[in-house]
Structure 1
């Protein structure tokens, strides 16, 4: 099965999600390893999500990270809504 390439908007949304998760983790003072372990993920998976290299993590992955970091899924949904990305001229 071939996966459809992500649109620029989807890639940007993944980067935004990663940034929000990284900022939330930093604000708690928790390490990447601690958050990953508590969420049932590897530190490498969390690193990929935080850096936008894994822009479409599974719902249950995002839910586990949100629970670990004390984030609202509703808030994440609103802050990660698809936004138009202007193409370089």
Structure 2
């Protein structure tokens, strides 16, 4: 399987996710959180550092649960609101 390079948007999203998880973890040890979530400490470290920008959904769900984050909070934090795009005026079709 060939892994495609990450887009700049995916990289930024991974960095925002890592920052969110670090803030939510606070002073708790990475080891304790990782083990409680059922992931390796190395996996958590890579996610928090942004090195794994697109972790699997079950991994994020497990970590978020242990940190007391809802998936809605995670989604909102890592996906900033889309910039509005100018609307094109509709052209009338001549009959």
**Post-superposition CA distance 1:23-45 (Å, at most 9, x none):** 1001xx31000000000011111
The Cα RMSD (Å) is: 1.5
Matched residue SS, 2:5: coil
In the other structure, the counterpart of 1:71 is 69
Alignment of 1:21-40 (within 5 A): 21-26=21-26, 29-40=27-38
Matched residue, 1:20: 20
1:47 deviates by 0.3
- TM-score, structure 2 length as denominator? 0.81
User: 1 or 2, which has the higher helix percentage?
Assistant: 1
Partner residue, 1:8: 8
4+ aligned runs moved over 6 Å, structure 1: none
Shift of 1:14: 0.2
Who is 2:90 aligned against?
Answer: none
Q: Residue 58 of structure 2 corresponds to which residue in structure 1?
A: 60
